[in-house]
Chain A
Amino acid sequence: MEFSKRKWRMLRLAGDQRNASYPHCLQFYLQPPSENISLIEFENLAIDRVKLLKSVENLGVSYVKGTEQYQSKLESELRKLKFSYRENLEDEYEPRRRDHISHFILRLAYCQSEELRRWFIQQEMDLLRFRFSILPKDKIQDFLKDSQLQFEAISDEEKTLREQEIIASSPNFSGSKLVLESIYKIPFADALDLFRGRKVYLEDGFAYVPLKDIVAIILNEFRAKLSKALALTARSLPAVQSDERLQPLLNHLSHSYTGQDYSTQGNVGKISLDQIDLLSTKSFPPCMRQLHKALRENHHLRHGGRMQYGLFLKGIGLTLEQALQFWKQEFIKGKMDPDKFDKGYSYNIRHSFGKEGKRTDYTPFSCLKIILSNPPSQGDYHGCPFRHSDPELLKQKLQSYKISPGGISQILDLAKGTHYQVACQKYFEMIHNVDDCGFSLNHPNQFFCESQRILNGGKDIKKEPIQPETPQPKPSIQKTKDASSALASLNSSLEMDMEGLEDYFSEDS
């Protein structure tokens, strides 16, 4: 993509050309876009795709990839953000175009560090995997050809000749299915992960790969290509970053958390300090419950714990004064000198409320942030118990919380399968005695709000998702309590003004 300093204009492609440029609903992004677009559209597309990829990430942690729930939620995300996903829908040009351009814009933002690249590649791969999984079989061959992959499906005769060998080579096959299955013939070196474990039939330098396994190979190809492309992009980045129109946006994109941040003080002052002990057992997620318990027992928490728990408390409505009192009371019980508290710790508390230093109002940590960063060490109580606790310890904790053995084993299974947030949802369901918690958990304060909502009979809702002004897409697809509605709300309220960008992205502190 060329970034010239002149003003940009919109280019429109005529009729047939449109379809030719995007023959499929998915692509490998081999060619960068060559049209001109306005800055406004540039920003919109970028923001939309970040939202999409964040959803991909969230859904991937909350649900097992490939299950019906995962698939349908991801599909509705794509539809809502107007990106392409499925063949044979009407008017596919615009979503495909958006998909194409937004991908390339994000390359600029996410090529800048190893961590960003890894994240970007992971989400793009999951997205591609999903789109490929819903591609109709007859479209697969065309797509592969157009993507310059040397993968050819073999004829039925060739299949029959090798039927026994192919069946004996693939872990997933039984005799009858072979007739229906497509088998692809690819050079053996392209199927490294398959042939090294003898999971594919090799003949004369070719691997005979069933469709299911081709996906893994295609994804590897994609990852390799994208990884190379990002490295190249990083080299030309200085030129791009020198363009003042783009620099702020690109810097913000990679730091944005586009979900609800629970920082607005809609419920400030509604909680009193003496309620906290009870609330911790009834409405706190296990991560905060354990932090509270540790604080009460040790009269102290280390920095990681103070950050995670302190911001959570702010999110549920504690005022600065309450917070200062709460922490001071507890620390003094631990024989801390009151003056020392005032000098050392109270500054930090005021800082996290935005009353000191650069006066940023820090937002409570999301589940992903807790799960993925700053793992706890000896003497720490922060983190996510489902992720960071030893399974035995986790089991004991759940037992002490009086969860039934059946529930405990379900939770432990989910934690073992790295579905930490689903495990937490299960915990929610157990302590509130409901079959379905009714939401996709991605934030501890969300846990709290939903819990309060149930316990208070839906009357006293501590946190309202910002209601969108534009009409929602078909309501049957979305659950209103879904966190994704929060994403849609942000979309509608965005003004395309470069200077105001900070307002639309709350920084993860």
Chain B
Amino acid sequence: METFDPTELPELLKLYYRRLFPYSQYYRWLNYGGVIKNYFQHREFSFTLKDDIYIRYQSFNNQSDLEKEMQKMNPYKIDIGAVYSHRPNQHNTVKLGAFQAQEKELVFDIDMTDYDDVRRCCSSADICPKCWTLMTMAIRIIDRALKEDFGFKHRLWVYSGRRGVHCWVCDESVRKLSSAVRSGIVEYLSLIKGGQDVKKKVHLSEKIHPFIRKSINIIKKYFEEYALVNQDILKNKESWDKILALVPETIHDELQQGFQKSQNSLQRWEHLKKVASRCQNNIKNDKYGPWLEWEIMLQYCFPRLDINVSKGINHLLKSPFSVHPKTGRISVPIDLQKVDQFDPFTVPTISFICRELDAISTNEEEKENEAESDVKHRTRDYKKTSLAPYVKVFEHFLENLDKSRKGELLKKSDLQKDF
């Protein structure tokens, strides 16, 4: 993948918004079958333009209106907000207090920087294949809970374009959830407590809730390769001192002796497991066993969520298929069936797909009828680029939404005996 040059953005975006952005699928999503009147028209979008100009309360009448505006403004970034009581672009004409955010998808934002205290390979905005596994584990753990515990059916996971992932939960009932319930959901999904000044961030009680147990089981599948090999969390004294800070002092000596004798992190971890299972836990009653081990695994691997992103109904989040202005990468949907294989470094950049498009156009028969509409062009254009598989994932997601909607309508009409 060629390097991306941010100065090319204005030109690239022009092409992207004219020929590649999947408007019809995008509209299909946010219109939600047109079941509720004005649902799309009352949706807030925000644009970040060139030179960091930020404009809120954008709203559009329909797909064609959306396209025209996006092509006209050429936004560097697009955010999606809530569905309001009135058209956001007319919010100034509404009586004070009457303009209210009413519905929005439940969203999650998982950011690699929140793991800086437990990853050695990178820090802040950087990511690499060694630490990306954190995102893989996060997706698996959170998605399982959203699906199996909460019964949420329509979950769209999206690569943020640089260092994290987002999740959009789009079930009809979920879009109506209050801020309090959203906060509660994040709390349910949280295990890591404490900031920089707290050493030990995970404390398990004697009883392990099924959510925690199932999460640990997921982490177990990745732990050896991720933590003991790639991150090498017991590589040397500097790294194992961090782990010693998480276990009672009474076993420090024994652990250190064993660590010094061992050759690698795998051996040291085995030693730690043995010693920890004999040691009394922090809890007052004498519970032995793997609690200490689990607490360490969780601190190094469990997802870290930003509650502020999820709890506010009016919170604005980066749109799928938006471009990341710094990396050039497209925010593409992630195929849950292949989450282990997802590689952020193979996600196409805007320059890449634009070049692909150019190459194809010159190769195509120039005899093509020039009168053929732009739309027809466009609906085939993205398919010829590396964007195609990602749009397919998105379409699969949309099909499920459609199916659900049809099912609901059938149920309702059955109830009303409306044949």
Cα of A54 to Cα of B183 in the assembled complex, Å: 36
Cα of A201 to Cα of B213 in the assembled complex, Å: 12
Cα of A231 to Cα of B395 in the assembled complex, Å: 47
Contacting pair B188 A195 (CB below 8 A): yes
Contacting pair B208 A195 (CB below 8 A): no
Within 8 Å CB of A202, what residues of B?
A: 149-150, 188, 211
Q: Does B180 have its Cβ within 8 Å of any Cβ on chain A?
A: yes
Residues 116 to 152 of chain B near chain A (Cβ within 8 Å) = 148-152
Cα of A145 to Cα of B180 in the assembled complex, Å: 26
Within the complex, the shortest CB–CB distance from B191 to chain A, in Å, comes to 9
Within the complex, the shortest CB–CB distance from B404 to chain A, in Å, comes to 14
Given A189-B177, A196-B183, A196-B184, is A168 in contact with B148 using a C-beta cutoff of 8 Å? no
Within the complex, the shortest CB–CB distance from A208 to chain B, in Å, comes to 11
Q: Does A204 have its Cβ within 8 Å of any Cβ on chain B?
A: yes
User: Which of A203, A205, A206 is the most central at the interface, judged by chain B CB atoms within 10 Å of its CB?
Assistant: A205
Contacting pair A197 B177 (CB below 8 A): no
Interface size on B, residues (CB 8 A): 20
Given A192-B181, A195-B184, A195-B188, is A169 in contact with B151 using a C-beta cutoff of 8 Å? no
Contacting pair A168 B213 (CB below 8 A): yes
Q: Does B241 have its Cβ within 8 Å of any Cβ on chain A?
A: no
Closest B-chain residue to A188, C-beta based?
Answer: B150
Q: Does B5 have its Cβ within 8 Å of any Cβ on chain A?
A: no
Which of B151, B187, B208 has a CB less than 8 Å from the CB of A196? B187
Contacting pair A168 B180 (CB below 8 A): no
Contacting pair B151 A198 (CB below 8 A): no
Q: Does A165 have its Cβ within 8 Å of any Cβ on chain B?
A: yes
Contacting pair A192 B209 (CB below 8 A): no
Q: Does B210 have its Cβ within 8 Å of any Cβ on chain A?
A: yes
User: Which of B151, B152, B210, B212 is the most central at the interface, judged by chain A CB atoms within 10 Å of its CB?
Assistant: B210
Given A189-B181, A197-B187, is A168 in contact with B150 using a C-beta cutoff of 8 Å? no
Which of B151, B177, B184, B210 has a CB less than 8 Å from the CB of A204? B151
Contacting pair B209 A205 (CB below 8 A): no
User: Which of B177, B181, B184 is the most central at the interface, judged by chain A CB atoms within 10 Å of its CB?
Assistant: B184
Q: Does A457 have its Cβ within 8 Å of any Cβ on chain B?
A: no
Closest A-chain residue to B151, C-beta based?
Answer: A205
Closest B-chain residue to A167, C-beta based?
Answer: B207
Q: Does A171 have its Cβ within 8 Å of any Cβ on chain B?
A: yes
The total of Cβ contacts below 8 Å across the A-B interface reads 45
Closest A-chain residue to B214, C-beta based?
Answer: A165
Within 8 Å CB of B150, what residues of A?
A: 188, 202, 205
Residues 200 to 253 of chain B near chain A (Cβ within 8 Å) = 207-213
Residues 170 to 191 of chain B near chain A (Cβ within 8 Å) = 177, 180-181, 183-185, 187-188
Contacting pair A168 B209 (CB below 8 A): yes
Contacting pair B149 A203 (CB below 8 A): yes
Contacting pair A204 B148 (CB below 8 A): yes
Within the complex, the shortest CB–CB distance from B254 to chain A, in Å, comes to 31
Contacting pair A198 B188 (CB below 8 A): yes
Contacting pair B148 A192 (CB below 8 A): no
Within 8 Å CB of A188, what residues of B?
A: 150-151
Cα of A91 to Cα of B108 in the assembled complex, Å: 57
Cα of A206 to Cα of B151 in the assembled complex, Å: 8
Within the complex, the shortest CB–CB distance from A212 to chain B, in Å, comes to 16
Which of B183, B185, B210 has a CB less than 8 Å from the CB of A169? B210
Residues 198 to 241 of chain A near chain B (Cβ within 8 Å) = 198, 201-206
Within 8 Å CB of B185, what residues of A?
A: 196
Within the complex, the shortest CB–CB distance from A54 to chain B, in Å, comes to 32
Within 8 Å CB of B181, what residues of A?
A: 189, 192
Contacting pair A198 B211 (CB below 8 A): yes
Contacting pair A168 B207 (CB below 8 A): yes
Contacting pair A168 B187 (CB below 8 A): no
Contacting pair B208 A168 (CB below 8 A): yes
Contacting pair A192 B210 (CB below 8 A): no
Which of B180, B207, B208, B213 has a CB less than 8 Å from the CB of A192? B180
Can you identify 26 A-B contacts, CB atoms within 8 angstroms? A165-B210, A168-B208, A168-B209, A168-B210, A169-B210, A188-B150, A189-B177, A189-B181, A192-B180, A192-B184, A195-B184, A196-B185, A196-B188, A198-B188, A201-B209, A201-B210, A202-B150, A202-B188, A202-B211, A203-B148, A203-B151, A204-B148, A204-B149, A204-B151, A205-B150, A206-B151
Beyond A196-B184, A205-B150, 17 additional contacts (C-beta under 8 Å) are: A165-B210, A168-B207, A168-B208, A188-B150, A192-B184, A195-B184, A195-B188, A197-B187, A198-B209, A198-B212, A201-B209, A201-B210, A202-B149, A202-B211, A203-B151, A204-B149, A205-B152
